[in-house]
Amino acid sequence: MKRLMCLFICFAFLIPQAVYAEGDEAIDGVEAKSCILIEQSTGEVLREMNADDELPIASVTKIMTMLLIMEQVDSGALKLDDMVSVSENAMSYGGSTMFLEAGEQLSVNDMLKGIAVASANDGCVAMSEHIAGSESAFVDMMNKRAKELGMEHTRFVNTNGLDEEGHYSSARDVAIMSRELLKHPKITDYTSIWTDELRGGKFKLANTNKLIRFYTGANGLKTGSTSEALCCLSASAERDGMQLIAVVLGAPTSAKRFSSAKSLLDYGFANYGIKKLAEAGEEIADADVAGGTDSTVKAVTAEEKSLLMKKSDGVEPERRVFVNEDIKAPVKQGDVIGELQFVNGEDIIDKVELKAANDVNKKGIAGIMRGIVLGFLI
């Protein structure tokens, strides 16, 4: 009996075991080659595993395609009601499609629906040709943007993520471009659609991201699966003012990519929260101005500041205001005139520049003389 038990134990050790680690710690519930969890507003990493491994990412590639589209829209170079003509080349793409026909015209709005919801390969090519003239020129734009964002483990070869040699990214880089895409708030109007339709109801859309329907707060972003990439996902969700992004690459099944992403998001929402430290443009102090038409100028925060807090820490940061003491006119709106610090004891947790809320012109001769006279009268 003892011999039998020993053989059983030895045999058990010979069975290949799936090990998913975060540093030296296992990540419960994650079954994938690589993953990362970040908070969107700060970019802070909450969990990661093999996050810099270069892997095929399938249709998660379309996050960069959508990012370039949204940048064009938000800059005014492209309008959502602009019409996009479909080429023979775009029509030829298979896999996930919106069944475009050569010569057909659809709006940018409808193309975005097809790409975000139905993962339309043909829609990506049509949009790339519309924006850059050709898919290859658009791919150059994708790689340039990736470099600008600091995506060090990424190379794009196409716009849609179909398996192709030399096309890869990493969980960390996918999180970077996902975070950048979410800076365009309108994108979630598309990525959070569960079902919709095109062509006057003739073509039905159903989101490939099942978390949109079944996970509270889910609002994006993109699924992907090919024989080489296996099952991938960049999942975003927002609760109580905190937006999380969970990236899962190389999950063995579709169900496991969703359960892995859900496990990461659950961990983030259970353990972290966002505390708003300051609003953008918040009035903090009146700064004295020497020799100006006004004696003071409002010091306002240059940007919004939020703090990612571990719920168990209970940190309540205090504010320290520092305003320059030698401000002399003229002052231009936007000039840096101080700093707002957020501190815990003696530790500076974060800080934000204080800027002048408006111009203050320099006093002319008449103004100076008037001040002298008023001084004597007082």
Enzyme catalytic residues: 59, 62, 119
Q: Which helix (H) or strand (E) holds 6?
A: helix 2-14
Give yes or no for a contact between 237 and 219, defined as CB atoms under 8 angstroms apart.
Answer: yes
Alpha-carbon Rg for the chain, nearest whole angstrom, is 27
What Cα–Cα distance (Å) separates residue 229 from each residue in 233, 252, 254, 321, 357?
Answer: 11, 9, 12, 51, 51
CA dihedral (25, 26, 30, 34) positive or negative: positive
Q: List the alpha helices (DSSP H) in 39-182.
A: 62-75, 88-91, 108-118, 121-132, 135-148, 171-181
CB neighbours of residue 39 within 10 Å: 20
**Separation between Cα atoms, residue 21 and residue 12, nearest integer Å:** 20
The two tokens of residue 255 are 């169900």
**Separation between Cα atoms, residue 376 and residue 372, nearest integer Å:** 6
DSSP letter at 139 equals: H
DSSP letters along 171-183, please?
Answer: HHHHHHHHHHHTT
27: helix, coil or strand? coil
Q: Which helix (H) or strand (E) holds 9?
A: helix 2-14
Beta-strand ranges (E) seen in 252-375 are 272-278, 283-288, 296-301, 305-310, 318-323, 336-344, 347-356
Cβ-proximal residues to 317 (8 Å cutoff; 6+ apart), any chain? 275, 277, 307, 342, 343, 344, 349, 350
